[in-house]
Structure 1
Amino acid sequence: MAPHEIEEMLRREGSKVSPDQYDESTEAAEARQRRTGLLVPILAACREVWVSEPDELELMVEKLGDGSRDVAWRGPFGDSGILEFFLRILAGNGLKQGLKIHILRLVGNSCADTDENRARVIQGNHLDTVINLLQDESLIPFTIPVLFNILVDYEPAQLAASQANLNQRLIDLLSSPTLPNFIVFVPYFCKILALLVSQEGEAARASPRTVEVLLNLAMSPPSRDDLDDFTSLVSVAGAYLANDRFQAALIQGPLMQLFLSTFYHAHTHFNLSDIDDADSAASLKKLHSSLLINLADITGNDLFAASYPLQSPIAQNLLAWLQSSNLQLQTAACLALGNISRSDEATTSLVQSYSAHAPLVRLLSNPDISDAQLLHSALSFLKNLAIPVQNKPLLGDLLDVGCVPRFFTLDTSPQVQFAAVSLTRLLLINCPSNVARICAPLSADPASPAHERSSVSGIISLYERSDAEPTRLEAARAMATVCRMLHSSPVAPLLPDWDGPVEQDDDAPLDEESRRRSYFYRKHDVARVLSFLISQQKWPSLRSEAWFVFALMCRSKEGGRVIIEVLQIHGTMTALIKAITGRDTPLSETASTTTAAAANEQLADEASVVASDGQIASMAEGLGLQPQQADPRQKESMVRVDRENALVMLTELLRSWGSRLPGLRVSILQDLVKEGTEIVAAQKAAVP
């Protein structure tokens, strides 16, 4: 059959529509079988020509290659054996260039969107044949698109290509001095590498130079100024960098600065607002996100901190980004430096030697900055810096009203809210000066309504508004930290001397400390917030933390008054009974039929007051119990310490408030003290 006859038949019997319009389901059921039959004599003619006049085959395969652009012929080419025939010829030696090109055209078109033909390539072990043609650089304009058509959307071919070390072939070409001859095909190289990188074992098989070659190419002309080429190259490099092997090589080799330079270029050279093409803009946004993940993984690797101390140029580069006006670079710096600051030595140095917190104070105080990712990254980094005790006073400016506390009201960004209240809690721990800041009036003007409120009010309000359990928990822990400080340190430096009378519960005069604490508690309703710590069930160590703070608070009358309010809140009596007796139900014979829930209700509603001589004896005094912190690592010890702290709390509560409590309440609390004391005494007696 002559070439012109092949051409005419393929045209006449084809679909006569463009590839994107063809739908095989709209044709007759026998259409494909009929076309396959028409190809049988053509295959016979090709075989005959190949044996007798091989030079004539080039024109025949050219016509077949042209016909393969019609989707309707792709399946029949595979079914008839034509695809297999020419793949076998392609594996031979001494073929003319034109014949190779037209066979590649036929193979590439036949495999486009046609998995059955891709399977024929893989099952016939023909993929190596195509890959080996990469050594002929003049064929690259054909070989690379053919490989892409075989691999795309067909995972068996991708795995086979990875196992055939296609990555190494491609990386060698991308680093070849002759790259300018085929540089227009670099996007296809990237697409193929992107398909390979997801295959199991690819990281071990890939060239160790993969990231280096791709990033160097991305940062060199013309790619560095071409958005699509730059994005393609860096995206693939980033995909390989997701693997530990390439991360370690980047960190320990000379490429870390190249990565940071690429990161910087991606965020400063291309302006999203200037990009008209929606797909290009989306690709750049995706690249930004993936690079940030790469940076997080790399700086979070233990090798990084060991390789790049804070005085190194790499770390100094990150500190410079912190000062940048580019929000994305600031976000990246916070993330990276946050990963570095995982030791007291590093965090102390970042604050005391490099003042890394200073630009963040300015950033968080700027009401015009609303980028949630940046704010969250900054707050998270500062949380690391706030852990060492010696850093806390130096970070005190963060607690100014216009800085971190302003995020307590940012209900539209719960993650930022959580990070803000969590950072606040860390800044308060063991730092009286920061507790004083958070307790200070929001306004120094006595005539202003804000004079009666403080940032503590913002924490309480956040707790009441939030539906997020972690945020409520951090707010409650922050309040417990404040209360602990108010009852374990001199109060005068912590609380302001607010003007105005203080409501008293009796005629006994209040000393200065009690007066200030009493005023603070009357202006800040902390009871409901604190109750959350003992009513929650997920974190036993936080319940222990609360019982210890409650025991401290009850040593003063004004603190005891707060705890009385806590114990009237639903669920708290159940928690108290559990802490002291180990049971989830009420305790004594006198109240044996009363459930914990009913006890809560009666405690709130009971109005009668029992007569008392004011001499309620402490049933636990003889045991010598004092408030103590539990070790959360020792579960049994924590249960014991919780019981003893709860007993100290009740003992002090009955001593200060027993004469003023309703009768049922006193009875329940006394029964708890009695049973708890017996348990403690028995435990002490059992210790040899």
Structure 2
Amino acid sequence: MVLNEYRIESGKHGRNCCVVSQFCMPYHSAQAPGAEMRLKIAARVTDSSPAFFTSNRHKILAIMSSAMATADTDTLSAVDAVLQGDEKTTDALIPLLDVLEGMSEQSQSTASARFWMASRDEAWRIPLGESGVLSFFQSLIPTATEPTLTLNALKIIGNSCAEKDANRKRVIDHPLSLTPIITALSDAETRIIAAVVLLNICTDYEPAQLAAVEKDAVTTIFNVLTEDGFDDPLDYFLRVLELLISHDSGKAAAPEGALETLLTALEYGQEEFDNTLSLVSILSSLLTTQRFHRIVVKGDGLFSCVLDAIEKTYDLTVDVERESKDNSLIAYARNQLIEAVCEIATDSEFLEVYPLGGEVMGRIEKWLEVQPGKEELAVTACMVFGNVGRSDAVCIELVEKGLQKPLLKIVEETADRFDESVKQAREKKEAVEGGGEVAEKLPTGAMSVGVIHAAVGVLKNLAIPASNKRVLVETGAFRAVRRMLEMEGVGVGQVWYSAVSLGRLATVNTEPNAKELLASTPETQSTLSLFLKRYAEVEELPVKVEISRTIAAVLRIIYATDSEPKKELLNGLLAHPSPALEDALWDMVTQDKYPVVRSEGWFALALFAREKEGAERVRTGFAKEMQLVKDTAQGESRDRENVAVLCAGLKALGEDEGVEEILRRVVVGAVDG
């Protein structure tokens, strides 16, 4: 950032110095013949005749003033000779320190303009620091009475520190450090220049940022922004704050009213693109801290203002020439705020301040209506409801209020849009290639996948309380599950996982839902059939595990009592093809990533083998996994007992090979245990 006379220019400054050449050494002001003679005459008159001096006081002072003016003029000429010379070195500047110190403040002010102009030239910046000139002008700021001197001194510091870490270090190591600059932020005459100077010192230089925080720059800037009548451009103040707030100490230094200041500027200000982004960035940085979370939760209307800020990011006008970059910046800033909002919703007192039936939560629920180009609002709403819905009581209340309806609508409509985009891509590909094979890679539809994943995340929470399960399926949960499993394209693996997870949770311990899961018609296959179809196609273990666990959940319902198994359900399960059904159960015990799932698998196999039809279905897998069964027979007691039940079922079929040996191992294992 170069400080010029009429404007502030920003830009990159090179680090290469110019080639030096010869220069003329300056002479001290006392060496000027005319000046020296006038000073001697005035001194002699004063000493020899006090009365004469008194009666001719004004004339004598005029002579002395003339002598001093002539001296300063001569010294300024010496300054010009050096600064306008070709040799831009430290040695060239060192003699000028004595010259500067001998000047009156008015002349120092005049000379400061010369040094400021010189500091615009990168070649002078390091010499200004090494010679001590930079420190000299830094020392003048607190005591200067000439406004021009103060401004020029600030400009010299600002220019000298532009991308020059050595000078930045000199400034913060100076006894005054950054205090004069930060103090200048509070003066209406100097604050804009001081903000630019501080930005130059702090950009890409962490020691200066931390020093500025230590010297109360954060508090000072927020105080300036809230002053009555403050109407200066925000640019440089905000850019400095962005740097300082990036540190934990900077966030800690921000006053409690900082959020209100930023939100007010966003709500009522007519800021340009860059300033709005800066405001959002600072706001989201502060909202990463627990202190400001609490302030938002407790603050009157602050959370609504944060929601306003998110919506405002969609109204920003971007520069056509840098549309892609600007849109990326907007998305990043928006996502930062969204993360903050979702984190705030986890606060234990959030629902006390913003109850489910209240205005704020009602506004968030409206965001569930997906708007093209504003899909992030729907994702945000889902995440907020997911974070508040972490207890059975809240989830039951949400279902009573019908939250599942807009969530299921999101899933189905977003899946439709995703499939339409895939269809268009295929048609375009076929048109280009003359009807050739469709490329394997289809559009990822990352946003569509993200929206669906967020909505199903909430639905899974809602499906945990027992009283909610039937309501969800009656509202269309299985229809939505089927719709997700019908999606095809790159990136849908996560959607399939969400689908089968929701299906399993809705089935657990709920007989009517299990019946619906198994039910088929002449026109449509059952939902479980669709599960098994995807099971054969996917490689991702989590998807396979969820499908296997769904089958296990059905078996638990079938054998939920000591009475006869529920034949209707058992027949519905057995109607699904072999070996897909039983293979999914055997895969539970052969995988070694999830021990709990392995135990659940042994239990499911034991249940299945209790009936003749089930035992027949697991026989092939038993022979194939004989060694695993033998090893498990001597393993943990829970799994060992389930293996015994499995073997008993097979023995009832007349299966002899290996069964007796395994049962003996079970007995031995029980005794040893």
- Fold conserved between structures, TM > 0.5: yes
- The number of residue pairs the alignment matches comes to 566
Q: Residues 482, 653 of structure 1: CA spacing in aligned structure 2 closer, same or farther, 3 A cutoff? A: same
2:603 alignment partner in structure 1: 548
Q: Is the 1:69–1:109 Cα contact (8 Å) retained in structure 2?
A: yes
Q: Deviations over 1:165-207 (max 9, x none)?
A: 2111111111112221x1x2x1222211111122243333221
1:262 corresponds to which letter in structure 2? A
Helix, strand or coil at the partner of 2:367: helix
1:544 corresponds to which letter in structure 2? S
Q: Residues 515, 206 of structure 1: CA spacing in aligned structure 2 closer, same or farther, 3 A cutoff? A: closer
1:357 to 2:354 alignment: no
Q: Deviations over 1:325-383 (max 9, x none)?
A: 3422211110001000000010001011x100101111211201552221111011111
Q: Which of 135, 145, 149 is the equivalent residue of 2:200? A: 149
Q: Which of 92, 101, 106 is the equivalent residue of 1:47? A: 101
2:3 alignment partner in structure 1: none
Q: Residues 82, 228 of structure 1: CA spacing in aligned structure 2 closer, same or farther, 3 A cutoff? A: same
2:658 alignment partner in structure 1: 668
1:73 alignment partner in structure 2: 124
Q: Which of 560, 566, 585 is the equivalent residue of 1:530? A: 585
Q: Is the 1:491–1:513 Cα contact (8 Å) retained in structure 2?
A: no
Residue 392 of structure 1 deviates from its aligned partner by 0.9
1:386 to 2:463 alignment: yes
Residue 481 of structure 1 deviates from its aligned partner by 1.9
Moved more, 560-569 or 120-129: 560-569
Q: Which of 334, 344, 347 is the equivalent residue of 1:298? A: 344
Helix, strand or coil at the partner of 1:251: helix
Q: Deviations over 1:263-294 (max 9, x none)?
A: 23334x34789896333222211112111111
Q: Is the 1:521–1:562 Cα contact (8 Å) retained in structure 2?
A: no
1:252 alignment partner in structure 2: 298
- Counterpart CA distance in 2 for 1:348 and 1:409 is 30
- Counterpart CA distance in 1 for 2:336 and 2:160 is 35
2:214 alignment partner in structure 1: 163
- Counterpart CA distance in 1 for 2:185 and 2:163 is 22
Aligned counterparts, 1:129-208, within 5 A: 129-180=180-231, 182=232, 184=233, 186-208=234-256
Helix, strand or coil at the partner of 1:138: coil
1:103 to 2:153 alignment: yes
1:307 corresponds to which letter in structure 2? V
1:561 to 2:616 alignment: yes
2:109 alignment partner in structure 1: 58
- Counterpart CA distance in 1 for 2:21 and 2:541 is 61
Q: Is the 1:514–1:558 Cα contact (8 Å) retained in structure 2?
A: no
- Counterpart CA distance in 2 for 1:272 and 1:404 is 41
2:99 corresponds to which letter in structure 1? A
Aligned counterparts, 1:333-372, within 5 A: 333-352=381-400, 354-366=401-413, 367-368=416-417, 371-372=448-449
1:368 corresponds to which letter in structure 2? R
2:642 alignment partner in structure 1: 645
Q: Residues 83, 168 of structure 1: CA spacing in aligned structure 2 closer, same or farther, 3 A cutoff? A: same
2:173 alignment partner in structure 1: 123
Q: Which of 4, 12, 16 is the equivalent residue of 1:24? A: 16
Q: Which of 134, 144, 156 is the equivalent residue of 1:83? A: 134
1:598 alignment partner in structure 2: none
Q: Residues 133, 387 of structure 1: CA spacing in aligned structure 2 closer, same or farther, 3 A cutoff? A: same
1:14 alignment partner in structure 2: none
Residue 84 of structure 1 deviates from its aligned partner by 0.6
Q: Is the 1:460–1:475 Cα contact (8 Å) retained in structure 2?
A: yes
Identity among equivalent pairs (%): 27
Residue 23 of structure 1 deviates from its aligned partner by 4.8
Give 5+ residue unaligned stretches, structure 2: 1-9, 24-85, 419-444
1:653 corresponds to which letter in structure 2? L
Q: Which of 510, 532, 539 is the equivalent residue of 1:467? A: 539
Moved more, 21-30 or 133-142: 21-30
Residue 672 of structure 1 deviates from its aligned partner by 0.6
Residue 538 of structure 1 deviates from its aligned partner by 2.9
- Counterpart CA distance in 1 for 2:648 and 2:326 is 70
- Counterpart CA distance in 2 for 1:486 and 1:273 is 64
Q: Is the 2:181–2:194 Cα contact (8 Å) retained in structure 1?
A: yes
Which has the greater radius of gyration? 2
Q: Is the 1:74–1:110 Cα contact (8 Å) retained in structure 2?
A: yes
1:631 alignment partner in structure 2: none
Q: Residues 86, 274 of structure 1: CA spacing in aligned structure 2 closer, same or farther, 3 A cutoff? A: closer
1:427 corresponds to which letter in structure 2? A
1:36 to 2:90 alignment: yes
